[in-house]
Amino acid sequence: MGGRVIDADSKPNSPSNGERNLVLVGRTGNGKSATANSILGKKAFMSKAGSSGVTKTCEMQRTMLKAGQVVNVIDTPGLFDSSADPEFVSKEIVKCIGMAKDGIHAVLLVFSIRNRFSKEEGAAIHILESLFGKKISDYMIVVFTGGDELEDNDETLEDYLGRECPKPLKEILQLCDNRCVLFDNKTKDAAKRTEQVGKLLSLVNSVIAQNAGQPYTDEIFAELKKGATKLRDTQVEVDSLKGYSKREISELKEQMQKSYEDQLKRTTEMVESKLKETTTRLEQQLAEEHLARLKAEGAAQLAQMKSNEKIFKLREKLERSQRETQELRNRAPQPPCPIL
Ligand SMILES: Nc1nc2c(ncn2[C@@H]2O[C@H](COP(=O)(O)OP(=O)(O)OP(=O)(O)O)[C@@H](O)[C@H]2O)c(=O)[nH]1
Ligand SMILES: [Mg+2]
């Protein structure tokens, strides 16, 4: 299946006209790979139904837009699923950062209108913020997949959000300045495909403009980039060395590769410890919220019981006084018979 050229209203030589790195994240099965394929215009990533994750590791594919702009699309596994192992997740995050060398132009948070919004999806945003800082939300765009199902029900995205928007999802949309787009990844209608990808790419353009053309980067990006550049430069240097045997050169190269891998390992460990810290904090927060809710419910129940008890006592008192009145009436002397 061939690639496709998309018009994204971009002007040649505009500051935002360089390569764009888009990363898709979201729960397993939400349609990240299907959306990535829609953006690329080809079946580059495996996308299928299944209870366990289909995408096993981060992968990057690219396409070229009409204006000659290159879009790099990074597909990821379900990194924020509660079943994901922190060691695996950290390795994947570092791998993903390594792929988006110059930074990330937009993070696409993929939700599905076919699956109910889950607590862990609500928590994912806090994990992202904690790993990458609050400014990551300036780069986020929400993608809802399953547009075909909404259409079958004669609904628009606004209708759906009007009836099915839990508080954490509302907060995510607010954080993203309501940047959201609906995708029907099943459609065969070429015009519809072009339109939805065009809408997404114009949102990407507005994110780039808002961030003054600067993709998202941080110290992890900087460290990894520095390490990779050093490795490349020293490899070139070693290749040009004269007077060394083949074995010596290969040993030198091995040493450099090892020092680069050590650096990767350290970075991964750092990400892992940050990730663990965040998940523990979030779990504690959730447990505290749960406890507070239980306490509030308990207090409400107690108040209800107390008022039930009061009503019961009042009723008893009333019945007793009614009985006593009746007894008094019964005991009272009867009026004499009227004399005829
Ligand atoms: N009806 C409908 N199905 C969709 C749409 N997008 C994705 N799907 C289906 O949803 C299922 C999961 O899609 P994937 O693209 O594999 O999901 P994923 O998020 O990449 O999943 P993992 O790789 O397991 O994390 C597949 O059966 C897709 O065909 C859509 O817009 N409409
Ligand atoms: Mg996938």
Averaged pLDDT, 269-274 = 92
Are 204 and 236 found together in one domain? no
- The ligand whose atoms approach the alpha carbon of 28 most closely is 1
Mean pLDDT of the chain, nearest integer: 88
Q: Whose CA is nearest to atom 29 of ligand 1?
A: 48
> Are 133 and 272 part of one and the same domain?
no
* 81 found inside a domain: yes
What tens digit of pLDDT does each residue of 68-127 get? 889 999 999 999 888 889 999 999 999 999 999 889 999 999 999 999 898 889 888 888
Q: How far apart are the CA of 25 and the centre of ligand 2, in A?
A: 9
Residue 198 lies in a domain: yes
* pLDDT exceeds 70 at position 251: yes
Task: Looking at the structure, tell me whether residues 119 and 189 fall in a common domain.
Answer: yes
**DSSP code per residue over 90-115:** HHHHHHHHHHTTT-BSEEEEEEETTS
The CA 13 to ligand 2 mean position distance, Å, reads 34
Nearest CA to ligand 1 atom 7: 31
What is the whole-number distance in angstroms between the Cα of residue 28 and the centre of ligand 1? 9
Q: Which residue has a Cα nearest atom 2 of ligand 1? A: 146
pLDDT(335) > 80: no
Atom 13 in ligand 1: which residue has the minimum CA distance? 31
Write down which residue in 291, 317, 334 finishes a domain.
291
Q: Are the C-beta atoms of residues 195 and 214 closer than 8 Å to each other? A: no
pTM, entire model: 0.82
**Which of 82, 109, 112, 143, when mutated, tests ligand 1's pocket best, judged by the most ligand atoms within 8 Å of its CB?**
112
Q: Which residue has the higher pLDDT, 248 or 212?
A: 212
Q: 212 with 224, same domain?
A: no
- Is 89 a domain residue? yes
Ion ligand 2 residues within 5 Å by Cβ: 32-33, 54-55
Q: Is 49 part of any domain?
A: yes
> Are 61 and 196 in the same domain?
yes
Q: Which residues form ligand 1's pocket by a CB distance below 6 Å?
A: 26, 28-34, 47-49, 53-55, 77-78, 145-149, 183-186
Q: From the alpha carbon of 34, which atom of ligand 1 is closest? A: 15
Using the 3D structure, point to which of 150, 182, 216 is the last residue of a domain. Answer: 216
Per the domain annotation, does 319 fall within a domain?
A: no
Nearest bound ligand to CA 78?
A: 1
**CA 121/CA 80 separation, integer angstroms:** 7
Same structural domain for residues 201 and 244?
no
* Residue range(s) defining the domain that contains residue 113: 20-216
Q: Is residue 306 part of a domain?
A: no
Q: Which of 198-202, 205-209, 237-241 has the lowest mean pLDDT?
A: 237-241
- 188 and 226 in a single domain? The answer is no
DSSP letter at 72? E
Q: Copy the structure tokens of residue 214.
A: 């600067």
Domain match, 100 and 169 both:
yes
pLDDT computed for residue 308 by the predictor: 87
**What confidence score (pLDDT) does residue 4 get?**
55
Domain identity same for 172 and 57? yes
Sign of the CA dihedral running 39, 169, 126, 86: negative
Q: Are residues 278 and 205 in the same domain?
A: no
| Cα 23 to Cα 76: distance, rounded to the nearest angstrom | 8
- For residue 206, give the CATH number of its domain: 3.40.50.300
147/191 same-domain check? yes
Q: How far is Cα 140 from Cα 106, in angstroms, rounded to an integer?
A: 6
pLDDT for res 233: 87
Among 232, 203, 258, 215, smallest CA distance to 20 is for: 215
Highest mean pLDDT among 16-20, 49-53, 156-160: 156-160
Tally the domains of the chain: 2
Calculate how far, in angstroms, residue 144's C-alpha sits from the geometric centre of ligand 1: 11
Name the residue at shortest CA distance from atom 8 of ligand 1. 31
Whole-number Å distance between alpha carbons of 71 and 62: 5
Ligand nearest to the CA of 31: 1
Site to probe by mutation for ligand 1, drawn from 24, 27, 33 as the one with most ligand atoms within 8 Å of Cβ, is 33
- Among 136, 94, 111, 338, which residue's Cα sits nearest to residue 225? 94
The C-alpha atoms of residue 219 and residue 234 are separated, in whole angstroms, by 22
- Whether 301 is in a domain gets the answer no
On whether residue 310 sits in a domain, the answer given is no
Structure tokens at 324: 């006593």
Separation of CA 29 and ligand 1 centre (Å): 5
CB-CB contact of 94 with 6 (8 Å): no
pLDDT for position 338: 59
Mark which of 216, 239, 267 sits at the end of a domain. 216
